[in-house]
Structure 1
């Protein structure tokens, strides 16, 4: 009888959808919606970055811009946080988000990965995949593919009934994501395509996205091809190759970047509103479909913010993205400029802008009076163990503490972590010695002389796993070895420390509550858990000011609000009013560094652009500048004007650790030089890995008008760039440390994507030493 009732319920649920079944296909130079030409005007939004109570408001905000579609990623790792345990409830209810879109008259484009990037922890891949140490991510690794297909099937159970053919809002599904930036593997892409086709059927349109410079590497003949590029790009150039290969295909920019993401220790990123609006206006004039990434970014609550590479550049909690709809769902100047332009392409008046779902409130400063040592949060202890990573100890996120006894060392020595992922603090007998910060490419610090048996403690906090490039296989904790070295009478002595007690400290709310509820224990440092309360007469959105605290996580009424770090640029955390209540509200802070004062207040505006860095982000130390007066260039000449990749090849292979590019003049005749991307070419003609690259020296870097430091020339992002300051005379110079001696036969150089390629190099010299 229960089965009959369930069947009847399903029939009544599906029948209204079947009555409105439609179709979305590819026509001659256009998409066709139910047989009629259709331009996709999509707004990218991410349901886990928006409180469920605010979904409807954000969707209405997109519709009021003139958008007809929502574009969403499906984040594997938030739905399957433990292997085999799936969660599609509450804020993870992606099917409900799609139904809500349809209620608001919006179509949906689904991007189910398995990899999504999105400046999200590990690019959306679950951490527990790394428990299999030899796993090959985003390849035809048997275990990886097995888990991918299980996940995609689970997503399909939620979303397949909601395709347009079934009367739902979903018009397209994406196959993988920007794979050309990862590798070349058509068999893998084909297997992902086949998996999705088996779930969504042959009639639903499948597409793949990539950059104009690499989309041919993995483009499959039976998929729609779309391009990704950003504000200010030369749009004709971005589609030129696609139009040549597929002259009758519809054109679509599946990610038109409205702004950019922020990382800890760098200024808040912005992009001009006019450039964004002009680019979208041009696409609409030419009948080009688009998805505006992001239209509303939202917040990477909890530990879900990722990190970028080369190097290690963790992203802040706010995913404001300088988008038209800001982090907390409000309008911006970009919003109004975009809405005005979009009205031109609507036959009817655009819907009214919806009111904010909650007011903004202030919260008077309050003290967090309860304090528990960080050790009280340990959920497992492993004794007399070799070094292990978090993943080996079945831990996804949080901190890990390594403890061992030291040998007698009568002189100062150097402690080296090979490698510490990510933020390590070192103590000897509870005395703080110093920190080793992966963000700053540090791996060692000096220890004082120690006696036999003194205790060494290394607290390692994991930040977001890398979300882009080959470095996504990003283990946490100490991933290799710990050594101590010193020099005694001209002889180097090295100790490899191998016997450890290891404690794991998860960063979830339940662990924080447990630590604070435990029996009182001696407080050994300011680091640890803090709890306080505030009372409200009325509920509203607010921004917790964390400037008195050091580094860690915040929980409000059990909700994981996100990471904070005193270095900035983000100094406040967005707290949605729907997570607050009248009367008493609880705040718990896990501070892995320790506060100046355990005091917090709530303010009505955010602070996203206040830096407190210890040293300059520029690379102009005079001692690092090479003397090129007597040096002989390995190549010199003129580069071409315009957009697109250019290749320079040397007359003979060159060996060296440092690559020097010197710009003597520019094509536009100005003194500002820019490089969007730079590769070194190896002896076989392939591109060298850039994972170990760092900037040794740059004579000029623009940090006042943007984050245009020299590492942008090899950050795997074609839309970002190194740019010199205006008014600084040529020549300009950048010196890149390749990490070790390499054999180089040339370079590949990419100027900026904008029309005219501003700042592109004309006369150049290249040195290797």
Structure 2
């Protein structure tokens, strides 16, 4: 059957009885709301937005349907790309592929803790802020001809350490606050620090706004304040609204003139006056297989509660992250490329005028920047993967972008109609959008995913033959008065590349050693933790103390399930070179019985190794209570013990993997199971080939960190699922051996590397 075939006929002549079908893809089907009316279905019935909402309506504005840039409707087709998860030398490659996929816009968060790593002296002190990466990213986006959606938080979530808040920020919390939770509140001191951050960001961002560029240029078109604020339910709505007003006011104060947006933030909606007037609250959705149910109900809510604004998705599912113990992103259910096509066409069917897919460019949580429970890879099953490789999702985006370029704004300005129809396949549904001049877009889709779908839909005097893949979606465009139309999207042919066989790469084992104990130790003052000394990293930390033999040692640590069932931080205790097993534990404490006879009244040295599993990317009272780094306390016989600490693991890993002589290899047999063990390797790259990517495949017991040529690739966890670690090609040596160092602390199966390999993968070319 020819998919493009359409036949004009009288349904009555063919013997078909046409009745209104519950299969229609409308708000009624999504919400089962029989009171919904045409105004809900079509946002275009709302009055136009006054130009007074916009500072530069001649350059950028919006109405109830679309954004207008320089007076013309523009469908914003955007992809998320986190510059802080991709080394700067690789940005151009990712931008080329993003552009080639047909995106006209790029979106990024701006993580505060990435740009201001050390604590400033005061809110007026900008000396610790380095926004060089942000400025370079904005310039490169402009060079590639892309608009920019900028999302500087201050809270970004993003599965990023602390949700973007700097570790040192909690040291600024007053003793008395209006609410138990300080972060994301309208506390005056917190707002002073928010202004400190926004002032710096706006100073860089303001010159890159579209309004500062010549007509026809590219730049920042949308500026987001806060992020997913609906999750915060521990403040009154009035306080939340006041907080948003202050943030938006600060952005305007420091030069932001483009439209302000939010996402999942009800308190910003429908403000008839003031700084929030004109703010667009966006829909974020990750529906997996249940597109109509999970995404559709959010769309309905948005249309009912934010009339007069265009439908915008700040985050539409472009994949999903991976936490410890989960399947890797590409192995998770509900994330195949066909879902991207189905979801995108459903968004068009509902009348969206702007879409941003999260993520389009995958990346890596290098070093210890991963949020609690997150793995090192942030590939996200994205269209452009962690190593820059493209895939079938990328091909789908290319076809969808071509369709949107040609028809996106016309579809957004079309009306969604009630259309009675009959389908020979009851799993296939129909919705129609009709333009003012009579052109029609027939959206045909299914959420049934076990089989191919072939058949005919009869509606409005037409017989429309269709052929859909499992979970498929297509659009039939029929111009007014035409007898034949066109099926979309038209996907490009799969690219066939000349991929030469990949040679093997030997990973030479240079040796292993027990971590030598630090030589220098710093005493902690009573009640203080290492962040009081300006240490904000989340690598291993050694502690030393002394305790009576035979006594019970109590160690406080971040408890289990502090957020989303997260695992507890780990404290390993060693006495006389041997690990002391946990006697018992609670969510907040671990107890260790120090070996020896308690009657002897003899003290012994106690060595502790603390593994901090990172800051969670959400905020609440439980999270804030555990923001300090290190054990909450170490006690014996009811008394706090004095502690000395050493933060050396990261410096050792970077130094030993960077070059020079390998450290003296100390026999690991000296300790039955040392607190920390190092494994060292080297390998040569394959000539001058630039068409391959390098991954370290590591099978191991224990938790630790991976270092290559002086760079910390990220964390490795015994529980998995990650076993392959992307090594950015810009960090490889072509003229000398590459060096790998892996630190491991023991887990249930000890701390040993079972196998280590360098895996080569073909690098996909620019499309």
TM-score, normalised on structure 1?
0.66
Alignment counterpart, residue 310 of structure 2, candidates 242, 250, 261: 250
The offset of 1:238, in angstroms, is: 1.0
CA shift at 1:162, angstroms? Answer: 0.7
Question: How far 1:478 moved relative to its partner?
Answer: 4.3
1:129 paired residue number: 169
CA distance in 2, matches of 1:553, 1:541: 21
Aligned match of 2:693 in 524, 531, 541? 541
CA spacing shift, 1:117–1:164, aligned 2, 3 Å: same
Q: Which deviates more from structure 2 when the two are superposed, residues 243-252 or residues 441-450?
A: 441-450
- 1:487 paired residue number: none
Q: Residue 305 in 1 paired to residue 375 in 2?
A: no
**1:467 equivalent in alignment to 2:617:** yes
Identify if the C-alpha distance between structure 1 residues 36 and 395 changes in structure 2 by more than 3 Å, giving closer, same or farther: same
* More divergent stretch after superposition (497-506 vs 239-248): 497-506
- SS state of the match for residue 97, structure 1? helix
CA contact (8 A) 2:553 2:591 kept: yes
Matched, 1:553 2:709: no
The alpha-carbon deviation at position 449 of structure 1 amounts to 4.6
Note if 1:195 corresponds to 2:250: yes
Q: Is 1:205 aligned to residue 283 of structure 2?
A: no
Q: Contact 2:319 / 2:380 at 8 angstroms: preserved in 1? A: yes
Distance across 2 between alignment mates of 1:222 and 1:436: 59
Tell me the distance in 1 between the aligned counterparts of 2:340 and 2:589: 41
Q: CA deviation at 1:513?
A: 4.6
Per-residue CA distance 1:475-522 (angstroms, 9 max, x = gap): 2444533456xxxxxxxxx54443333333463468745999889989
Greater alpha carbon shift after TM alignment, 399-408 vs 590-599: 590-599
Q: Give yes or no for contact 1:227–1:252 (8 Å, CA) kept in 2.
A: yes
In structure 2, which of residues 345, 348, 370 is the aligned counterpart of residue 284 of structure 1? 348
Query: 2: distance between equivalents of 1:361 and 1:477?
Result: 45
Matches within 5 A, 1:75-86: 75-84=111-120, 85-86=127-128
Query: How far apart are the structure 2 equivalents of 1:365 and 1:334?
Result: 33
Q: Is the 8 A contact 2:557 2:588 kept in 1?
A: no
- Return the alpha-carbon distance in structure 2 between the equivalents of residues 129 and 298 of structure 1: 26
Number of equivalences: 563
Could you tell me which residue of structure 1 aligns to residue 104 of structure 2? 68
How far did 1:570 drift? 0.3
Specify the alignment match of 2:532 in structure 1.
392
Distance change >3 Å, CA 96–CA 223, structure 1 → 2: same
Q: Compute the displacement of 1:326 (Å).
A: 1.9
| Distance across 2 between alignment mates of 1:244 and 1:605 | 49
TM-score by length of 2: 0.66
Return closer, same or farther for 1:215/1:190 CA change in 2, 3 Å cut-off. Answer: closer
Other structure's SS at 2:107 match: strand
The one-character-per-residue Cα deviations of 1:249-288 (angstroms, maximum 9, x if unpaired) are: 1011111122221112232242333233211112124441
In the superposition, relative to structure 1, how do residues 374 and 590 fare at CA in structure 2: closer, same or farther (>3 Å)? farther
CA distance in structure 1 between the aligned counterparts of 2:627 and 2:503, rounded to whole angstroms? 40
What does residue 417 of structure 1 align with?
A: 556
Aligned residue for 1:227, secondary structure, equals: strand
Q: What are the Cα deviations for residues 357-401 of structure 1, in whole angstroms up to 9, with x where unaligned?
A: x9987531221326462533x764216x54543323321112222
Higher mean C-alpha displacement, 400-409 vs 443-452: 443-452
Point out where structure 2 has 5 or more consecutive residues left out of the alignment. 1-55, 121-126, 176-181, 408-489, 560-567, 763-767
Residue 499 (structure 1) aligned with residue 642 (structure 2): yes
Tell me how far apart the structure 1 counterparts of residues 716 and 729 of structure 2 sit (CA, whole Å). 19
Alignment of 1:714-753 (within 5 A): none
- Is the CA contact 1:60–1:353 (under 8 Å) kept in the aligned structure 2? no
The aligned counterpart of 1:229 is 285
| 1:662 aligned residue | none
1:447 alignment partner in structure 2: 593
Alpha-carbon contact 2:657-2:741 (below 8 Å) kept: no
Give the 5 Å matches for 1:424-443: 424-434=571-581, 443=589
Q: What does 1:245-394 align with in structure 2 at a 5 Å threshold?
A: 245-269=305-329, 270=332, 271-273=334-336, 274-288=338-352, 289-307=354-372, 314-347=373-406, 362-369=504-511, 371=513, 373=515, 375-376=517-518, 380-382=521-523, 385-386=525-526, 388-394=528-534
Secondary structure at the counterpart of residue 547 of structure 1 = strand
**Equivalent residues of 2:399, 2:492 under 8 A apart:** no
Indicate which of 193, 196, 202 corresponds to 1:156.
202
Q: In the aligned structure 2, how far is the partner of 1:527 from the partner of 1:217?
A: 56
Matches within 5 A, 1:317-716: 317-347=376-406, 362-369=504-511, 371=513, 373=515, 375-376=517-518, 380-382=521-523, 385-386=525-526, 388-397=528-537, 398-409=539-550, 415-419=554-558, 422-434=569-581, 443-445=589-591, 447=593, 449-451=595-597, 452-470=602-620, 471-473=622-624, 474-483=626-635, 495-505=638-648, 507-508=650-651, 512-513=655-656, 525=674, 527-536=676-685, 537-538=687-688, 540-548=692-700, 550-582=702-734, 583-593=736-746, 595-597=751-753, 600-604=756-760
Q: Do the aligned partners of residues 547 and 46 (structure 1) sit closer, same or farther apart at CA in structure 2, a change above 3 Å counting?
A: same
1:239 equivalent in alignment to 2:299: yes
Contact kept? 2:512, 2:666, Cα under 8 Å:
no
